[in-house]
Amino acid sequence: MAGYEYVSAEQLAGFDKYKYSAVDNNPLSLYVMHPFWNTVVKIFPAWLAPNLITFSGFLLLVFNFFLMAYFDPDFYASAPDQEHVPSGVWILVGLLNFMAYTLDGVDGKQARRTQSSTPLGELFDHGLDSWACMFFVVTVYSTFGRGTNGVSVFVLYLLLWVVLFSFILSHWEKYNTGILFLPWGYDISQVTISFVYIVTAIMGVEVWYSPFLFNFLYRDLFVVMIIGCAILVTIPMSLLNYYKAYKIRTLKHHSFYEAMLPFLSPVLLFILCTTWIFQSPTEILEAHPRLFYFMVGTAFANISCRLIVCQMSSTRCQPLNWLLLPLAAVVLLVMSRALLEHETALLYLVTAFITLAHVHYGVCVVSQLSKHFHIRTFSLRKPSSD
């Protein structure tokens, strides 16, 4: 499974020259979370590999996603007159979400503490983060759901895209400036989400039914916070950072086309998926929202991972992700009404294909880079030289 080499010789040479460069000026991160993480990391034994910490945190988010899928498969559990998710489950989800966030914050510190920092560690961390975006957004949706006091599945679809766009924007910055400006929204959102889970466990989902200001519901605050953070914080700061690099002439790509190339595949993915939603004869998003979100998030993660590889190796971004081709074929079949009765099967099929392709890509890239840097992915022990 891990035999195929996705990383080219040019990219491997680029990884050999790579130097980590990031800026984190978020007050919450600097003055609250980093001191907390500096304390937590001392608990871990010196033999514990940073990548194992990264992967463990990611698996906690995956567990939360599937746990909530069991108790709230169609996002109706938080609606009035429905069987709600048990309080104990909310407590567990809240604790695991904060634990995942903490592990994501200490993995780099563990790497520096054990002097085991490598480009693979950064790629592994950010690659899993690109997939994690979907898991935590869809999981938190269950606090409001799509009942009379919730938001529609299409609104959540758009909010998911706001989060995904915010993620890739930071890596677009690094692709053009060479510096990763860590987004403020991530730390704020993770602390807030964990708090919301615990409040839901203590007060019940009914706490979100009542307006918190005039006729402004908490679901409206949820929507406004996600969109507002993107419009008022994420996008302006990204453009400002890009402009600063332009002014001091440190941009890595000078033509508009080359600079904007990382957005081509994500935009095409959005167009294809949105076209499917509007052209679906069976209202596929209404019928299978969780599966549709999973498909979108997984395809996006593959696009992001390939961008991160190009960004870290200082190579040109691929204009088109090939996983868009089978998705485009499915959308055309849906629009033609040729397989009207099998649209759900098509969704399952393309989701399975994209997931397997993405996992194969991830395993192969990690295996190839581990071999290239002569390290073990999940251990600090050096591999034998045989």
Q: Are 303 and 126 in contact (CB under 8 A)?
A: no
Q: Are 322 and 302 in contact (CB under 8 A)?
A: no
Sign (positive or negative) of CA dihedral 4, 7, 10, 16: negative
Phi, psi of 349 (to 5 degrees): -65, -50
Exposed e or buried b per residue across 372-384, where buried means at least 16 C-beta atoms within 10 angstroms of its C-beta: beebebbebeeee
DSSP 155: H
Marked catalytic residue, from 84, 126, 171, 358: 126
Sign (positive or negative) of CA dihedral 353, 370, 175, 50: positive
Which of 104, 127, 97, 131 minimizes the C-alpha distance to 50? 104
d(CA 99, CA 36): 12
Per-residue CA distances from 378 to 230, 339, 364, 366, 383 (Å): 35, 45, 15, 11, 11
- Encoded tokens for 341: 């009765």
DSSP 213: B
254 is catalytic: no
Q: Are 197 and 97 in contact (CB under 8 A)?
A: yes
Amino acid at 165: F
Helices and strands counted in the chain (H then E): 16, 2
Report the run of H or E that residue 181 belongs to, with start and end.
strand 180-181
- Encoded tokens for 134: 């979907």
Per-residue CA distances from 350 to 88, 281, 344 (Å): 35, 17, 10
Q: Are 362 and 356 in contact (CB under 8 A)?
A: no
d(CA 29, CA 38): 12
Catalytic center residues: 126
